[in-house]
Amino acid sequence: MAVTRDFQESIKARADRDPAFREALLVEAVELLLDGDVETGKAVLRNYINATIGFTELGEEVGKSPKSLMRMFSPTGNPRADSLFSVISHLQKSTGVQLAVAPSSH
């Protein structure tokens, strides 16, 4: 299912005014990736990028073309681990959201 422009604009508007929402998006994306739900994790991460730094600025800062990054986080994209973790690391630095992995007893 395609994400509509209205949905993307709503996420951006909320992320602009609500730091807790921005943080929750990044946390959710990484947790989904760690839980093995790569497709949904990439989609949430794509929404986070669009709502915060944007693909153009992110591409400049990590040395990748914005189109390459958009493909990486598309439903059919298959990011390499080094590229994915490089992006996550940069997003943490640029947005001030620091993540930590902790054991959990499920």
Q: Print the domain residue range for 62.
A: 5-94
Report pLDDT digits (tens) over 74-96. 999 999 999 999 999 999 998 88
Residue type, 45: L
Burial code of 66-103, b = ≥16 C-beta within 10 A, e = fewer? Answer: eeebbebbeeebebeeeebeebbeebeeebebeeeeee
Domain annotation covers residue 9: yes
What is residue 14's predicted lDDT score, i.e. its pLDDT?
85
Task: Kindly report the pTM of this predicted structure.
Answer: 0.86
Host H or E run for residue 33: helix 19-34
The structural domain count of the chain equals 1
103 is a domain residue: no
How many other CB atoms sit within 10 Å of the CB of residue 38? 15
Domain-embedded: residue 34: yes
